Structure 1
């Protein structure tokens, strides 16, 4: 098992790399070291051993965890929640009300993910363990959660990627845990001096208008930090908003072109990959950079969501 030291992000927050799909810097679990030890995101079940080891390296045991929060219930963010809770006897799982029932009975979640990931599903996500209803805490827009004497997290509905998505505002760091609503961040490009974010438009609740409205709500907070579901923290928050606003219309317009030609999500993914590759190459990213493997997968899933949105529309 690969393992990295948890990243210290300052402001009493660490980030444990969950090695989703075996890739570093893909998904992670944020650890907020307060009186009520709080984790944000579990990743899939394959990430649970990394969380356990990361907590140990920080000097914690699972029985000290009081809250586990998932921004939304897609399996790469919450698939490991039920499995991890089995190790955390004193923890409650915090989730959006629209997602709670799917953690209690994950059968529809599993079916949806199998349709996307097909034969890869078991290796990526198995097992999916149901969460007992009595261990769930539901939070929605405007709700708060006190985790320390002077520390309270604020919940904000942030649809666009999914209807059951909230974001978590942390006043101590003036930062927002955005899950997938503010897109996917590619930290492996930092070595090239490139800060790059793409929208996350996976099926089946993607809505570009709602995504942009959520971005506007982030902006009104005058945030100092964004904590991504994929992956890491940035203080270049205006850059994030700009990337989403630039790329989201490209994604949707290219989808409309492809559907008008009677083609589908595979062609859309290929065309988007060409656009993204041209952009990165113009910024000095070599053809053989490993980031393209990750982006290729992301665009494949994003294209399914765009086609699904346009066909419903």
Structure 2
């Protein structure tokens, strides 16, 4: 469930959806800990087991930092905070209120997924007491036992998104801003990465600006929520930016279609774009298997592009 990466960064598979799909991280420094993202409420036993495996007491965790408040990243924050008596929850100011009162967040997820699926997938979403919530700001530095973690505002996937720069590892904790990379698609050329345009705040120009800003730090690694640590960041940055442009071109081409036909065409177009990239990478995953692994992303990315086009 938890593995120890270099630099005191523990990668935790939250168990959401399938193995190696959704990660959160426990950063340990001089006997103190900080979580970055939490998975869902169902993930709680795995997160507490990671605290134990790292040799920490629950009171040794100082921070729970959510990159943004989508439920696969932050749905378990309230349940986790109840178990960590010393921790503060750090959230983007646009998202912090949803950690205190999650009803609007839940209603938004229900609109996308349906109420039954939200209950099944995410469990109870526990509010966090307001006095334990801290708003981030661009350029904020969180000190973890003398280890600085820099927060930068990174819109494009969501307006309530920030990423964390860790100078020690020369790595970014990216949430969803720098896309998705599933280990099943790795080849000798390295990982494949794709942008996520999940509803409802995909903004391609802002996303490209955020990615370029992160590349300006010359990171050596990215700690992705979906999934795990990847390196050779300049290559992934080029791949990410090029695919945002491809997605925009696809959406603009399909803009005139009526909504149901447009959604179907977006699904087909995205599948073709992904498959072309996988072929370039030398992936040996058969197309049907690849599309099964990407089924959730195809649906949500098509929805998000449609919302962007309508906006």
Q: Structure 1 residue aligned with 2:79, among 83, 103, 116?
A: 83
1:221-259 deviations in Å (ceiling 9; x for gaps): 111111112111112101221111121122222222233
Aligned partner of 1:296 in structure 2 is 295
Q: Structure 2 residue aligned with 1:120, among 112, 117, 122?
A: 117
Confirm whether residue 138 of structure 1 aligns to residue 135 of structure 2: yes
Instruction: Describe how 1:53-92 pairs up with structure 2 within 5 A.
Output: 53-92=49-88
The range that moved more, 71-80 or 277-286, is: 277-286
Task: Report how far residue 181 of structure 1 moved.
Answer: 0.5
- Separation of aligned partners in 1, 2:226 and 2:289: 16
- Separation of aligned partners in 2, 1:278 and 1:191: 15
Confirm whether residue 211 of structure 1 aligns to residue 207 of structure 2: yes
Q: Structure 2 residue aligned with 1:30, among 16, 25, 32?
A: 25
> When the two structures are superposed, what TM-score results if normalisation uses the length of structure 2?
0.93
Task: Report how far residue 25 of structure 1 moved.
Answer: 1.1
| CA distance 1:85–1:223, change in 2 (3 Å) | same
C-alpha RMSD of the superposition: 1.7
- Separation of aligned partners in 1, 2:148 and 2:243: 34
SS of 2:294 mapped into structure 1: helix
Confirm whether residue 129 of structure 1 aligns to residue 120 of structure 2: no
Task: Report how far residue 266 of structure 1 moved.
Answer: 3.5
Which segments of 5 or more consecutive residues in structure 1 lack a partner in the other structure?
none
Confirm or deny: 8 A CA contact 1:281 1:287 kept in the other structure.
no
Aligned partner of 2:273 in structure 1 is 275
- Separation of aligned partners in 2, 1:130 and 1:156: 25
Which segments of 5 or more consecutive residues in structure 2 lack a partner in the other structure?
none
Confirm or deny: 8 A CA contact 1:273 1:299 kept in the other structure.
yes
Confirm or deny: 8 A CA contact 1:192 1:285 kept in the other structure.
no
SS of 1:33 mapped into structure 2: strand
- Separation of aligned partners in 2, 1:308 and 1:124: 23
